[in-house]
């Protein structure tokens, strides 16, 4: 008679690393059941319901792989699409930059550390205002303070225009860090001591323009065009920054977009359809730790996460084509 084994978070993480299907307790149970051991659907469901996996569990695993005295910190959020679900907890209508409209989903805010080659998530928060009454800006400030207490001294902290409010900029200043952020075209600045104007009205040279940001202080402002020719405006408290530095930092900012794509395509972060918020939280935690294992493997063995998962899938495909079950 098979022995019933209690699942662990590592069991669930290993499933997420290999799975290329929708995530469910039934499917993970089916994968772990053998002639010697068995796990029931209820066992995994109880495990995900009763655990309380926090951002500290992620930090405990990633701490050894980051250099707190160098590199960059990048923060951004992404929406885990739940627009076809009506009863999943911790979902809200939020703006999706990918779909360019408001959709229903879970807001995941992540702070990553990168050296330009590898990118490790070091902290995250789930936007759930009805539970903790915190805004996304509150979460940024909380994670920045946590990173400071952990001893991080990044070259720059980078984030999107959503997080470029004065209170956030002042906090980064107080921590003694430099920031590089996008700002909206209607932010008010004073370029010549003659009064405030919108940044979109300025003729900003390639090397940037030092201006006074309303109710904040002096910043250096840059202008660029995206692939569609739309203007983007960038600001930093590192006043000596030149255009070459700006281009480097813009490319570093993109690393978090690659991270968002990988956790969705490779780690199933948005595939859980459980209704309970605690299950969604534990699932997200395990998904980020699954990504961490891919990235550590890349760091140690120079194998990209996509190639690493292909090696797993290839074994299953090879076994099947040797003995095709559904041949005519």
pLDDT-derived band at 21, boundaries 50, 70, 90: confident
Q: Using one digit for the tens of pLDDT, what is the confidence trace for 281-310?
A: 999 999 999 999 999 999 999 999 999 999
- Name the pLDDT band for 83 (thresholds 50, 70, 90): confident
Stated pTM of the model:
0.91
Q: What average pLDDT does range 10-15 have in this prediction? A: 89
C-alpha 15/C-alpha 27 separation (Å) is 9
Query: For residue 169, is pLDDT > 90?
Result: yes
| HSE of 55, CA atoms in CB hemisphere, 13 A | 16
Sign of CA dihedral 112, 113, 116, 117: negative
Q: Taking residues 121-137, report their average pLDDT.
A: 95
* Tokens linked to 87: 């009863």
Architecture of domain 55-306: Alpha-Beta Complex (3.90)
Q: What is the pLDDT of residue 35?
A: 42
Contact, 81 vs 105, CB < 8 A? yes
Task: Report the alpha-carbon distance of residue 276 to residue 258 in Å, rounded.
Answer: 28
- Please give the average per-residue pLDDT across 61-66, as a whole number: 97
Mean pLDDT along residues 242-250 = 95
Between the alpha carbon of residue 325 and those of residues 103, 317, 320, 328, the distances in Å are 41, 12, 7, 9
User: 114 pairs with which residues across the strands?
Assistant: 72, 119
Distinct helix (H) and strand (E) counts, the chain: 11, 13
Domain ranges within the chain, ordered by starting residue = 1-51, 55-306
Average pLDDT (51-74) is 96
Residue 1 binned pLDDT confidence (cut-offs 50, 70, 90):
very low
Look over the chain and give the mean of its residue pLDDT values, rounded to a whole number: 90
Distance of alpha carbon 62 from alpha carbon 121, whole angstroms = 8
Q: What's the mean pLDDT in 151-172?
A: 96
Residue 38 has pLDDT above 70, yes or no: no
| Residue 124: predicted pLDDT | 98
Structure tokens at 79: 């929406």
Assigned token pair, 92: 């809200």
Per the listing, tokens 């030149």 go with: 242
- Pairwise pLDDT comparison (320 vs 169), residue with the higher score: 169
More reliable by pLDDT, 306 or 50:
306
Q: Rounded distance, CA 125 to CA 147, Å?
A: 13
At 22, the pLDDT band (50, 70, 90 cuts) reads: confident
Distances (CA, A) of 38 to 2, 33, 51, 87, 170: 6, 4, 20, 31, 55
User: In the prediction, which pLDDT does 37 show?
Assistant: 55
Quick one: pLDDT at residue 41?
A: 58
């Amino acid at each position: 008679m098979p022995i019933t084994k209690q699942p662990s978070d590592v069991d669930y993480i290993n499933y997420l690393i290999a799975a290329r299907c929708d995530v469910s307790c039934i499917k993970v149970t089916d994968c772990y059941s053998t002639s010697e051991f068995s796990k029931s659907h209820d066992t995994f469901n109880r495990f995900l319901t009763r655990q309380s996996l926090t951002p500290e569990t992620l930090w405990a695993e990633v701490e050894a792989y980051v250099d707190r005295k160098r590199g960059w910190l990048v923060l951004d959020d992404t929406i885990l699409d739940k627009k076809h679900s009506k009863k999943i907890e911790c979902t809200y209508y939020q703006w999706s930059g990918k779909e360019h409209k408001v959709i229903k989903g879970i807001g995941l805010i992540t702070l990553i550390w990168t050296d330009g080659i590898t990118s490790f998530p070091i902290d995250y928060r789930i936007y759930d205002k009805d539970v903790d009454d915190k805004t996304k800006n509150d979460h940024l400030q909380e994670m920045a303070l946590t990173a400071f207490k952990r001893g991080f001294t990044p070259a720059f902290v980078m984030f999107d225009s959503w997080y470029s409010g004065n209170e956030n900029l002042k906090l980064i200043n107080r921590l003694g860090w430099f920031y590089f952020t996008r700002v909206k075209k209607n932010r008010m600045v004073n370029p010549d001591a003659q009064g405030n104007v919108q940044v979109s009205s300025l003729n900003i040279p390639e090397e940037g323009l030092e201006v006074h940001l309303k109710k904040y202080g002096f910043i250096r402002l840059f202008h660029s065009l995206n692939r569609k020719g739309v203007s983007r405006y960038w600001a930093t408290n590192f006043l000596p920054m030149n255009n070459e530095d700006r281009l480097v930092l813009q490319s570093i900012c993109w690393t978090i977009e690659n991270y968002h794509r990988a956790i969705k395509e490779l780690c199933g972060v948005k595939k859980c359809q459980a209704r309970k918020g605690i299950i969604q939280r534990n699932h997200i935690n395990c998904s980020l730790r699954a990504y961490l294992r891919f990235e550590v493997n890349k760091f140690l063995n120079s194998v990209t996460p996509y190639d690493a998962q292909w090696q797993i899938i290839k074994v299953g495909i090879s076994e099947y084509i040797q003995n095709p079950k559904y041949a005519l």
